[in-house]
Amino acid sequence: MSRRMIAVTVGILFFVQMATAMIGTSLIQAFVDGDTERAPLTVGVLLMMCSGLAVVGIGLLMYPVLKTVNQRLAIWYPVLRITEFAVSAACGVYLLTQLQVVPNHLLWVYIPTGIGGLILSYLLFVSRLVPRPVAVLGLVGYGLFSLGVPLDLLGVLNMNEGLGMVILVPGFLFEFVVLPIWLIAKGFSSPSPAKEFTSPAMVTTS
């Protein structure tokens, strides 16, 4: 697959994963709030599965692009995205079989999401595969996202309301607006690995 096709596909998958996750989460939340109908709950879990598969697709497609920047760091991106899907799928199966949600299930999913997102944004930043302001938005978004998870677990804030939802805005803009639109419209620029990623053996003197 060409780099241009990878960029377009990844952009579309970002839209798919976000849209399916939003709808799926709302259906599951309706069950938590007292809607006992099984069909909407099942649809919600299936949509979350679809979102997870899109996430895995993003990780696998981005790896050959990111490894040109730093292969050892890049491999963690698909690993964390697969982990994210596995945690989400396990929580979904538990919900369907036990008819109760895993406590803080979304927060456990968010942990690999945040770490993987920071790796993605950092590699995009140092390589200039996308404009640096786009990558900076990702770093800020995933940084706040990763900070919010332990604060929520400690009861300092609730990521589903108030300030907790405010800190999700930069990450939402990055994943659902800025990055996918850029990838679909412009694609990747030629990577420029940072100096710290360049092996001394590759440096030549004139």
DSSP string across the chain: --HHHHHHHHHHHHHHHHHHHHHHHHHHHHHHTT---HHHHHHHHHHHHHHHHHHHHHHHHHHHHHTTT-HHHHTHHHHHHHHHHHHHHHHHHHHHHHSSPPTTHHHHHHHHHHHHHHHHHHHHHHHTSS-HHHHHHHHHHHHHHHHHHHHHHTTS--TTSTHHHHTTHHHHHIIIIIHHHHHHHT-PPPP---GGGS-GGG----
Give the per-residue pLDDT at 90. Answer: 96
Residue 199 lies in a domain: no
pTM for the structure as a whole? 0.88
Domain count for the chain: 1
pLDDT tens sequence across 155-173: 999 988 888 889 999 999 9
pLDDT tens sequence across 59-110: 999 999 999 999 999 999 999 999 999 999 999 999 999 999 999 988 999 9
Residue 57 lies in a domain: yes
Domain span at residue 111 reads: 3-190
